[in-house]
Structure 1
Amino acid sequence: MMLDTQPSADSGAVEWQRDYERVPYRAALDAMERRNAAIAVGQASELFWMLEHPPVYTAGTSAVVEELLDPRFEVVKTGRGGRYTYHGPGQRVGYVMLDLTKRGRDVRRFVHGLEQWVIDTLGSFGVESWAVDGRVGIWTKDVDGREAKIGAIGVRVRRWVTMHGFAVNLDPDLTHFTGIVPCGIEEFGVTSLARLGLDISAQQWDEALIAQSQAFLESLAKYSGNTR
């Protein structure tokens, strides 16, 4: 585990936590709940937490049981938005815990900012990607030329403090996604940086994400009118 801080657009700092050993999903969820509560009452700093999980399927608030096709791994209900998602080794998960009372109380703006942060980070590796209205996630062109999902987005906001965040496929076992209908979207496949021919380590991904993080924070500060 690595801990550091990244200057934010206000007078404080956002802490970074980077774990390179797999963190069980339920343990991470409990830790995120506690941190959310502490941030809300001013007892902890905001946090960007990068990690990976052992194989798990998570059910968002809109999950439809018919889309759980083969529950070969543990299924955990969670309070984030969205449907079923897979997390596992080779997929880098980013949990984003920010206080939106300081950054503009607009959840849609926050989600769009997350999407752009992931898109810009993928772009730093030469991967063109995009968001699509009405279709949750981050999309790119797969090796067969068709659109495929390379990243997932799912958030929850409690007491104006954000939880959950995004996940990007570096080199997961893509067959594990076949146990669900990922995010309820059947007509498109799932891809990864490895499938696209890129060997990107978790450490390399984290460093690239950090390099793009200030632009993400500044986009929220610009919206909220906080330019200090």
Structure 2
Amino acid sequence: MNKNVYLIELFQKDYKSTWDYQADLLQGIIDVKIKNRREELAIPTDNYFLFVEHPHVYTLGKSGDMSNLLLSEKQLENKGIAFYKINRGGDITYHGQGQIVGYPILDLENFFTDIHKYLRFLEEVIIKVIAEYGLKGERSEGETGVWLDVGTPFARKICAMGIRTSRWVTMHGFALNVNTDLGYFDHIIPCGIKGKAVTSMEAELGRKLDVEEVKMKILKYFKELFEVNEFIKKASL
């Protein structure tokens, strides 16, 4: 099993080209798996972790409801916000500046073949990261992601998650609101959940955070939980 992970920093990149890039990486891993099976080989499969910040975009998961987008096509255009229906799980969410988006593209057969465990580990990474800043992240039953003040009238989501898997290979991932402009969430019903707010680390702590510092903490806990041997920095294709 290959437990090394290629770390690719995409910086700011539009959603569609990043989605296509993820799909290419995923397909490359699947092609190796198919070749191994057909030809009885044992070629190791690669794993990737992408960091990216997207320009303003709303994405709607495959089971999402269009009514959770509260803007017309014209209004989206006027505000300079892109919109895509995509193939991850979950409903609608927002990506934008000041948000850390992480896309692990892993062959789970290198780690463990359990989707539920994979999602819980992603949540645990974020829970551990924000705990270093004095924030108590929690899970909300039946609602993937990381929340604050679960079970109170003040429950609010700080990190959204949505994934897709094919032949045990993952794509899509998580979006942690660090210094995010939360006003963009006013134009959607985030994750299709009415009556619950969205927050950011900046909003909770009253100060801007060092995004690179937060990324390093994410990698630290991801490595710990997934028992990654090594992150290997790699340029994008």
Identify the TM-score tier after normalising by the shorter chain.
0.7 to 0.9
Larger radius of gyration: 2
- Aligned residue in 1 for 2:71: 70
Per-residue deviation, 1:41: 3.0
Q: Is the 8 A contact 2:2 2:45 kept in 1?
A: no
- Aligned residue in 2 for 1:149: 157
Cα displacement string for residues 167-187 of structure 1 (whole angstroms, at most 9, x for unaligned residues): 000111111011111001111
Deviates more, 1:157-166 or 1:36-45: 36-45
Is 1:99 the equivalent of 2:117? Answer: no
Is 1:170 the equivalent of 2:171? Answer: no
Q: Report matched runs for 1:211-222 at 5 Å.
A: 211-218=220-227
- Structure 1: which 5+ residue stretches go unaligned? 1-9, 220-228
Instruction: Work out the CA distance in 2 between the residues paired with 1:150 and 1:178.
Output: 15
Q: How many positions carry a matched residue from both structures?
A: 208
Instruction: Work out the CA distance in 1 between the residues paired with 2:195 and 2:120.
Output: 23
Q: Is the 8 A contact 2:3 2:227 kept in 1?
A: no
Q: Report matched runs for 1:19-168 at 5 Å.
A: 19-20=10-11, 22-42=12-32, 45-71=46-72, 72=76, 73-141=81-149, 146-168=154-176
Cα displacement string for residues 13-48 of structure 1 (whole angstroms, at most 9, x for unaligned residues): 11111233x100001000000000112234862011
Quick one: which amino acid aligns to residue 21 of structure 2? A
Instruction: Work out the CA distance in 2 between the residues paired with 1:173 and 1:12.
Output: 36
Instruction: Work out the CA distance in 1 between the residues paired with 2:202 and 2:113.
Output: 37
- Aligned residue in 2 for 1:15: 6
Q: Is the 8 A contact 1:170 1:192 kept in 2?
A: yes
Instruction: Work out the CA distance in 2 between the residues paired with 1:214 and 1:101.
Output: 16
Instruction: Work out the CA distance in 2 between the residues paired with 1:107 and 1:174.
Output: 30
- Aligned residue in 1 for 2:219: 210
Q: Is the 8 A contact 2:2 2:110 kept in 1?
A: no
SS in 2 for 1:41: helix
Instruction: Work out the CA distance in 1 between the residues paired with 2:149 and 2:70.
Output: 25
Cα displacement string for residues 64-121 of structure 1 (whole angstroms, at most 9, x for unaligned residues): 1111112522210110000011101111100011101222221111111111111111
Instruction: Work out the CA distance in 2 between the residues paired with 1:12 and 1:207.
Output: 19
- Structure 2: which 5+ residue stretches go unaligned? 33-43, 229-237
Per-residue deviation, 1:201: 2.1
What's the Cα RMSD here?
A: 2.0
Per-residue deviation, 1:199: 2.3
Normalised by the size of structure 2, how large is the TM-score? 0.82
SS in 2 for 1:125: coil
Normalised by the size of structure 1, how large is the TM-score? 0.85
Instruction: Work out the CA distance in 1 between the residues paired with 2:224 and 2:3.
Output: 16
Per-residue deviation, 1:12: 4.0
Instruction: Work out the CA distance in 1 between the residues paired with 2:65 and 2:114.
Output: 27
Per-residue deviation, 1:141: 4.0
Quick one: which amino acid aligns to residue 227 of structure 2? E
Instruction: Work out the CA distance in 1 between the residues paired with 2:192 and 2:2.
Output: 40
Q: Percent identity?
A: 32
